[in-house]
Amino acid sequence: MRTIKMNPSPTISDVAKAAGVSTATVSRAFSRPEMLREETVIQVRFHATRLGYLPNLAARALSTGRQGNIAIVVPDIANPFFPPLLKAAQTAADLAGYSVFLGDSDEDPEREQRLVNKLVMQVEGFILASSRMPNKQILELSERQSVVLINRDTPGLPRVLIDTVAGINAAVAHLAELGHRSLVYISGPAASWSDQQRRSAVSSAAVLHKMKLESVHARHPSFDAGREITSAVIGMDVTAAITFDDFVAHGLLAGLAEQGVVVPRDFSVIGCDDVLGASTYPALTSVSARCDEAGRMAADLLMSNLQMDKRDDTRCLLETWLVVRDTTAPAPDSSLSRAKKKAHPKSAIGTPGVMRMRSTV
Amino acid sequence: MRTIKMNPSPTISDVAKAAGVSTATVSRAFSRPEMLREETVIQVRFHATRLGYLPNLAARALSTGRQGNIAIVVPDIANPFFPPLLKAAQTAADLAGYSVFLGDSDEDPEREQRLVNKLVMQVEGFILASSRMPNKQILELSERQSVVLINRDTPGLPRVLIDTVAGINAAVAHLAELGHRSLVYISGPAASWSDQQRRSAVSSAAVLHKMKLESVHARHPSFDAGREITSAVIGMDVTAAITFDDFVAHGLLAGLAEQGVVVPRDFSVIGCDDVLGASTYPALTSVSARCDEAGRMAADLLMSNLQMDKRDDTRCLLETWLVVRDTTAPAPDSSLSRAKKKAHPKSAIGTPGVMRMRSTV
DNA sequence: TCTTGCCATGCAACCGGTTGCATGGCAAAT
DNA sequence: ATTTGCCATGCAACCGGTTGCATGGCAAGA
């Protein structure tokens, strides 16, 4: 353990001195080399690399107003829905020469606002994924900065939406086809656009198929919350559940198993987001989407807005589909009572928006 | 779609004008309020918030040399090992007032170096998680900046290591106790310190328990790579596998299932990192650790180094343990041949470093 | 009432780049 | 040989803060 002084990085004027030119020439050797004699550029670059010179982006930002940074804010990095999205966005940004700040709001609107404030002067734009901030604050922000939203449908702003309506419709149709006459929707965060969309999609699909619809709220999109609402679900006289996300579904599966309810024989479960994939047991039927695609598109949208110096309000929908695995089966004779297990009807294969997957384990 | 001009943010001099004071006073009202009359501070702050003033951190960094940013670089955000770590680190940094840059090197040392170069002037320090860069470059970097490593054991630098030795020992002991006489280690990225550590820990534990040890390399820490090496494993005349991580284990489980090998009756599998938890089927026995803890510690270590303006070389070990679930069972009579299934010996419970989990689904 | 001293505030240089404009030198044109 | 014109480079102001030092005003002490 020792006190140290980091050797200060060489600056543009160190390089200038070494190369026997002015700082302006050094600057141009990097940012506008076509203005200089080729020989000069080579000289300057030579001394720069020899000294280990790296341009100070903060200083550059100060004079150009272009930071070369963007920020991505998500409600919960640890939710597997986001990492692929983050990765894709970061890759796209990197390709365009941008660096990315990461913010985790922990599902808290105030913390999200504080994060945004801390970052706003250091970035050229924001990607807000599943933002929990009120519309007013988002619009305010968008007057200073380019903003692209993911899974939040605020008119006037560019946004990438994972359109679960198709997937949910397929899910409800799938249940109806299996003979279910009732289901429960287990809802997620109230501030979540996705939850609102899913809730209303389930609702109208239930009407269409003349199914009885109940609803329960999971206090948090997590395994534990899913397990907690199990008793409520069991007491509800329904034969199937569609949950806000895969975690709630996973928790519910665990809760049902504990109570001796056999899935899918006694009860069918469908998740959303398809992030657990085939790794649950039984392998979870889920509404799936390319969430990495959402990240990439949002980043590209932001980047192109920055380069064009314009603002559009593209509303970009990403399609979803149902992946049928092993948690859905024909309805039992009565809700949550024993029923003989039947094979999955083959009719599900080939239905539009439905994909039958072989369980991987 | 319209071209817009973002209204420029108010600067310190706008506030100064509005409040009828100098820019120095505005600056001090924020950074050193105790130097000013209380009344002045209130006045300045009032006008600042009225105008929506937010300090320009890049400008501040330029004159103070303190950016208020750190960077975290990981080889693969989408690998579930990292998100909890990232989240914990980001939370700790945020608490200390720092913002965080995120870099994904995609397992590529050159890309990692490029990322680092782009960020080096904008941050006060780096957290490099499972860095794939050569030691030389890491040490070079550490002369300019504070660096904290995760899962990389470079002497002279502060580092947080998830010490899988204890967990691996427990894993091998567990297999030995179940009557296995042979096993294969399925290795991961060659540049990974964790892989080296795990490989050598398996090796010495195998010697200790007089077990035959084979080894296969998975080209990538992923499900697919795990599935790919299945045939190699089957051809190997061993009765158990320990894999570099849970993904490889998951892939292997899938591959074995496809080939009709029943786990754990015919073959036992143990993963590492415990990121899939109970969600595989059968629920995976795995070497577990608090990886969020690693992120938090690394962030705290970095932060304290920055504030003390010193550099230590703390070597911080995080313990691991074996979580026994449903992929390990007594050895079959001969390798990969049928054997009657026995119950798990209760003796595993209570062995130090071993934890018996009820499968959650 | 005049001096002393402190405290609140302002001035101006500086951090490390960028860039509009000025300048000087050399080649081509006259 | 002189003029013209362009191209490569330098000068210096500026981006938005911070901070050492100077200054002015007011209160306390003489």
Closest to A104 (Cβ–Cβ): which among B7, B58, B91? B91
Query: Is position A115 within any domain?
Result: yes
Q: What is the pLDDT of residue B222?
A: 85
Same domain, A224 and A82: no
Q: How many domains does chain B have?
A: 3
Question: At what angle are helices B12-19 and B38-51 packed, to 10 degrees?
Answer: 120
Same domain, B79 and B192: no
Parent domain of B264 = 164-290+320-356
Same domain, B192 and B76: no
3-state class of A78 per DSSP? coil
- List pLDDT tens digits, range B301-321: 999 999 887 778 899 999 999
Closest to B145 (Cβ–Cβ): which among A6, A62, A115? A6
Query: Is position B60 within any domain?
Result: no
Q: Is the CB of B120 under 7 A from strand C?
A: no
Confidence of residue B8 (pLDDT cuts 50, 70, 90): confident
Q: Is A95 on the interface with B (CB under 8 A)?
A: no
Same domain, A256 and A334: yes
The radius of gyration of chain A's CA atoms, rounded to the nearest angstrom, is 26
Q: What is the pLDDT of residue B302?
A: 95
A70 CB contacts (<8 Å, ≥6 apart)?
Answer: A93, A98, A99, A100, A101, A123, A124, A125, A126, A127, A299, A302, A303, A306
Do A314 and B5 touch, CB atoms closer than 8 A? Answer: no
Q: Judged by CB atoms within 8 Å, which residues 253-312 of B form the interface with A?
A: 253-254, 257, 276, 279-283, 309-312
CB contact under 8 A, B77 and A69: no
Q: Give A143's contacts in chain B (Cβ within 8 Å).
A: 6-7
Query: Is position B58 within any domain?
Result: no
Query: Is position B255 within any domain?
Result: yes
Closest to B86 (Cβ–Cβ): which among A67, A77, A283? A77
Confidence check: pLDDT of B268 > 50: yes
Same domain, B49 and B76: no
CA distance A287 to B30: 50
Identify the H or E element spanning B71: strand B69-74
B151 CB contacts (<8 Å, ≥6 apart)?
Answer: B129, B130, B160, B161, B162, B192, B193, B194, B294
Query: Is position A177 within any domain?
Result: yes
Same domain, B14 and B45: yes
B315: DSSP letter: E
Same domain, B25 and B105: no
Listed residue (A129, A73, A126, A132) closest to A104, CA to CA: A73
Query: Can you give the distance from the CA of residue B66 to the C1' of nucleotide D13 in angstroms?
Result: 25
Q: What is the pLDDT of residue A342?
A: 38
What mean pLDDT do residues B86-103 have? 96
CB atoms under 10 Å from CB of A330, counted, come to 21
Query: Is position A64 within any domain?
Result: no
Identify the H or E element spanning B225: helix B223-228
Same domain, A205 and A249: yes
Listed residue (A272, A219, A220, A210) closest to A241, CA to CA: A272
CATH number at residue A83: 3.40.50.2300
Query: Is position A361 within any domain?
Result: no
Q: In what order do the strands lie in the sheet with B146-150?
A: A315-318, A159-162, A146-150, A125-129, A69-74, A99-104, B99-104, B69-74, B125-129, B146-150, B159-162, B315-318
Same domain, B254 and B216: yes
Do B357 and B321 touch, CB atoms closer than 8 A? Answer: no
Q: Is the CB of A27 under 7 A from strand C?
A: yes
Do A271 and A248 touch, CB atoms closer than 8 A? Answer: yes
- List pLDDT tens digits, range A167-183: 999 999 999 999 999 99
Query: Is position B61 within any domain?
Result: no
Question: At what angle are helices A193-208 and A164-177 packed, to 10 degrees?
Answer: 40
If phi > 0 it is left, if psi is from -120 to 50 it is alpha, else beta; for residue B358 that is beta
CB atoms under 10 Å from CB of B346, counted, come to 8
Q: Supply φ then ψ for residue B105, to 5 degrees.
A: -85, -10
Residue B9 identity? S
B298-357 residues near strand C (Cβ < 7 Å): none
Same domain, B278 and B330: yes
CA distance A10 to B213: 52
- List pLDDT tens digits, range B156-173: 999 999 999 999 999 999
Listed residue (B53, B289, B342, B32) closest to B168, CA to CA: B289
B326: DSSP letter: S
Residue ranges of chain A with per-residue pLDDT less than 50: 1-4, 335-350, 358-361
Same domain, A191 and A309: no
- List pLDDT tens digits, range B331-340: 987 544 433 3
Q: Which residues interact with strand D by a CB < 7 Å criterion?
A: A 20-25, 28, 35-37, 39-40, 59, 62-63; B 8-9, 11-13, 23-24, 27-28, 30-32, 53, 55-56, 59-60, 62-64
CA distance B359 to B361: 6
Distances (CA, A) of B58 to A73, A317, B20: 20, 36, 25
Mutation pick from A104, A228, A280 vs chain B, by most beta carbons of B within 10 Å, is: A104
- List pLDDT tens digits, range B231-259: 999 999 999 999 999 989 988 998 898 89
- List pLDDT tens digits, range B173-189: 999 999 999 999 999 99
Give A283→chain B minimum CA distance, Å.
9
- List pLDDT tens digits, range A15-63: 999 999 999 999 999 999 999 999 999 999 999 999 999 999 999 999 9
DSSP-derived pairing of the beta strands B240-243 and B182-187: parallel
Instruction: Name the one residue in this structure whose structure tokens are 């030389």.
Output: B136
Same domain, A205 and A342: yes
Positions in chain C where some atom is under 7 Å from a protein CB? 7-12, 14-20
What mean pLDDT do residues B343-356 have? 49
CATH number at residue A21: 1.10.260
Listed residue (A357, A290, A285, A350) closest to A317, CA to CA: A290
Q: What is the pLDDT of residue B258?
A: 83
What mean pLDDT do residues B111-140 have? 95
Query: Can you give the distance from the CA of residue B36 to the C1' of nucleotide C10 in angstroms?
Result: 13
Q: What is the pLDDT of residue B343?
A: 39
